[in-house]
Structure 1
Amino acid sequence: MFEYFGDNYTWNMAVNLALGMGAEIGEIDDASGPVKEASRRGDPRAAEILFAAWTGLADRVKALAQQDLQHDRAYSAGRKFKRAAIYYVQAERMQAPRFPGRDAAFRDTLECFRRYVELTGQPVEWVDVPYQGTTLPALYVPARETPPGGAPCMVHFDGLDVTKEILYLMGIGDALRERGVSVLLVDNPGVGEALRLQGLTNFPEAEVPASACVDYLETRDDVDASRIGIMALSLGGYHAPRAAAFEPRLRCCVAWGANYDWGATQRYRHQSQDPRLPVPHYWEHAMWVFGQTSVEGLLATADRMTLEGVLDRIRCPILVTHGENDRQIKLAQAERLVAECINSPKAELFVHTLRDGGAEHCSVDNLALGVDTIADWIDATMRELKQRPQG
């Protein structure tokens, strides 16, 4: 993994993710001098320093986009709005939940992402999935061609700290679209707009929001309702298999990074004070995501998030991808997850090695490899499902 911030794993993850989304390393480097110094000296205000540096960078790039618009350079403006969105969202997700300025940075992210989509003609439709008297915000990316009867579609949930906009900019929507598969990128409860703007918090029964997404997709004429699958990354490595185990309408499943026993992982983190965390202020963030007011309450909820005794219910194809050098979740969790899918007609584990790349958590060190591996498997699996109808 590119270790721009030395031994600061959490910040290095943010840089790698930003680059995988389309950031420019020169822009990051120009803005991050004070941030690197704060990281080296262990400044307790380091995350806030990063916020000031990266939102300042986003402001500058957005101003350049607005200059382009004044000169009728719409496409160039759109590309800059994209990078501004990346810097805003990375600065925002690295802060404590009640940090001043976080709400504004998130709204700037949404605004810049929308301008990027509109000005560059991205194939994105904003949709609201009906869900328990409210909605789940989502982005629908259609397959390039819609055959008679509709195209297959993947429901894509987030992880603990990413958003549907991050997922789109990671390239998974385009990768599936080009292979003839649509995708619904969803801010499920506990992430993105669902958490920040609607107050929806996460919980173990992932089949509940997943079923709502299937209900919605079944209303669309451009979706083949017999070929709807689910995928998710990081914490979603629990959510996607859990949903597939309890929602039989899901015809395939991808865990982009395994998460067999999230409770055990959290108890280890709490006891060991392991610094290899996805975001700073980790325990505050996780409590916010799950609507808990204490670490004890969070851990009690986390203990319910295990796939033990569940995976024999999965009767659809499932792929688990995992990094050989994943420093957050051990490879053994991925191996156990696949081994216990005893009733799946095709349960496969793909390990990204240090030699080939993509070996870190969710392949953040080489997102292109991770995306292609998953998209190719989904493409092949959806073709197989077409030849082998349900029932």
Structure 2
Amino acid sequence: MFEPFPGKYVWNLSVGLALAVGGQIGEVDRAVRSLADRIGDDDDAATLAFFETWCALADGVTELAHEDERAGRFRSAGLKHARASVYYQTAERMQAHGYAPRVEAYRKALRAFWRFLELSGEPGELVRIPFGETSLPGILVRPETDEPVACVLFFNGLDSTKEQIYGTGTAQELRRRGIATLIVDTPGAGEALRLGGLTAVPESETWAAACIDYLEMRDDIDDRRVGMLAWSLGGYYGPRATAFEPRISFGVAWGANYDWGEVQLQRLRNEGDRPVPHYWEHVRWVWGADSLDDFLEIAPRVTLRGILDRIRVPFLVVHGEHDRQIPVRYAQLLYDDLINSPSRELKIFTDREGGVEHCSIDNVPVVRDYICDWIEQTVRSLESQTDVTGQAVPA
């Protein structure tokens, strides 16, 4: 992983994520260089400097986008808005929940992303998925065809957002393969948490069910071929949903979060790296816990132990060999428990290929393309298993 800040994993992870989801190295380098003399500050002062630097970068790129708009250069403007959104989110995700300016930074990120879709011509439909008395925000990307197509649900993790997932290019690659993607800010993440106040629960199948209910109402989606892809903490959410929601026809765990509750106990012992500063405040916010003790009552429930034998569809597990957040042994454990999957695969990415860090943040395209190829092959296999009545035949 690109590590411009020696010994500062959290900062390096943020830089790597920014580059992986659409940031440009020249712009990112400006932010990195201006922070080089701040890494020795105390954590709160350094994190504030990080926020101010990345917001300033985003503001500057937004000004350039507005200049393009006034000159009628709309696609160029849209692409700049996309990068500004990346930089605002890079700033925002590093701040404590109670830091008020993060709210405006997040709203700026959303506005920039919306403007990107309006101006650039890039594919993406902003949608709302009915969920109880409220809704979940999503981005639907689908091929240019009038025929119903297979669709992948893409759930995020502890601290990522639907806009960042869009920036990986995964939905665009699947679109080129004739497959749609519904990227969702699930409870506990992104817009669902920040603006909707929806906190996470271990039973992620409730969110998956709402998403599939929504897709079943659309004529342009083949609801018999809906799969699940999820990364980071989604490496728990996705397999859990696949185990309990029978309408999911295949699954991918991008980062095997086999026993996230156990990982939290390790982090209490200062074992392993954490993704954001103010970590314990952040997880309490995500899970709606009033105290650390309350959170530690929830955490043991966030495990895949004892439920994966319920999965009876094709399943792919991908993991980085040197993941510093979720040890690679959890990928093997997840794979081993998929005893009833008719077609299971475990792929560990090594130094030879890249993609060795958490959710392959050091080389997203290599792992993304592997996943997309697997999904394409799996969808084609599902097509061939459809009988004359139009119902999917179990593998």
Same fold, TM-score > 0.5, yes or no = yes
**2: CA distance, partners of 1:43 / 1:295:** 21
**In structure 2, what is the equivalent of residue 53 of structure 1?**
53
**2: CA distance, partners of 1:299 / 1:232:** 24
TM-fit CA distance, 1:43: 4.4
**In structure 2, what is the equivalent of residue 294 of structure 1?**
291
Question: Cα gap change, 1:275/1:11 in structure 2, threshold over 3 Å: closer, same or farther?
Answer: farther
TM-fit CA distance, 1:181: 0.7
**In structure 1, what is the equivalent of residue 208 of structure 2?**
210
Q: Which amino acid aligns with 1:204?
A: P
One of 248, 267, 275 as aligned partner of 1:278 = 275
> Counterparts of 1:89-168 in structure 2 under 5 Å?
89-147=89-147, 150-168=148-166
TM-fit CA distance, 1:24: 1.8
Decide whether the 8 Å contact of 1:190 with 1:200 is kept in 2.
Answer: yes
TM-fit CA distance, 1:41: 4.3
**In structure 2, what is the equivalent of residue 172 of structure 1?**
170
Decide whether the 8 Å contact of 2:4 with 2:32 is kept in 1.
Answer: no
TM-fit CA distance, 1:100: 2.2
Decide whether the 8 Å contact of 1:244 with 1:314 is kept in 2.
Answer: yes
Alignment root-mean-square deviation, CA: 1.2
Q: Which amino acid aligns with 2:90?
A: Q
Q: Which amino acid aligns with 1:27?
A: E
SS at match of 2:138: strand
> Counterparts of 1:178-257 in structure 2 under 5 Å?
178-257=176-255
**1: CA distance, partners of 2:146 / 2:371:** 21
Question: Cα gap change, 1:46/1:163 in structure 2, threshold over 3 Å: closer, same or farther?
Answer: same
Runs of 4+ in 1 over 4 A off after TM superposition: none
Decide whether the 8 Å contact of 2:201 with 2:287 is kept in 1.
Answer: yes
**1: CA distance, partners of 2:258 / 2:144:** 34
Q: Which amino acid aligns with 2:131?
A: Y
One of 376, 380, 383 as aligned partner of 1:383 = 380
**2: CA distance, partners of 1:275 / 1:307:** 20
Note the alpha carbon deviations across 1:77-114, whole angstroms, 9 max, x for none. Answer: 11111111110011000100111211100000000001
TM-fit CA distance, 1:347: 1.1
TM-fit CA distance, 1:143: 2.2
One of 349, 363, 366 as aligned partner of 1:366 = 363
Is 1:357 paired with 2:354?
A: yes
In structure 1, the gaps of 5 or more residues are: none
**1: CA distance, partners of 2:98 / 2:25:** 29
**In structure 2, what is the equivalent of residue 17 of structure 1?**
17
**2: CA distance, partners of 1:93 / 1:274:** 22
SS at match of 1:44: helix
Decide whether the 8 Å contact of 1:34 with 1:49 is kept in 2.
Answer: no
Q: Which amino acid aligns with 1:303?
A: P
TM-fit CA distance, 1:6: 1.4
User: TM-score, normalising length from structure 2?
Assistant: 0.96
Note the alpha carbon deviations across 1:327-375, whole angstroms, 9 max, x for none. Answer: 1111111101011111100111111101210111100000111110111
**2: CA distance, partners of 1:353 / 1:166:** 24
TM-fit CA distance, 1:25: 2.0
**1: CA distance, partners of 2:367 / 2:42:** 32
One of 292, 312, 315 as aligned partner of 2:312 = 315
Decide whether the 8 Å contact of 2:68 with 2:76 is kept in 1.
Answer: yes
Q: Which amino acid aligns with 2:38?
A: A
**2: CA distance, partners of 1:270 / 1:143:** 45
TM-fit CA distance, 1:240: 0.4
**1: CA distance, partners of 2:218 / 2:178:** 16
Decide whether the 8 Å contact of 1:79 with 1:120 is kept in 2.
Answer: yes
Q: Which amino acid aligns with 1:99?
A: Y
User: TM-score, normalising length from structure 1?
Assistant: 0.97
Q: Which amino acid aligns with 1:217?
A: L
Decide whether the 8 Å contact of 2:185 with 2:191 is kept in 1.
Answer: yes
**In structure 1, what is the equivalent of residue 78 of structure 2?**
78
Decide whether the 8 Å contact of 1:32 with 1:50 is kept in 2.
Answer: no
TM-fit CA distance, 1:42: 4.5
**2: CA distance, partners of 1:22 / 1:166:** 8
**2: CA distance, partners of 1:213 / 1:165:** 18
Decide whether the 8 Å contact of 1:143 with 1:180 is kept in 2.
Answer: yes
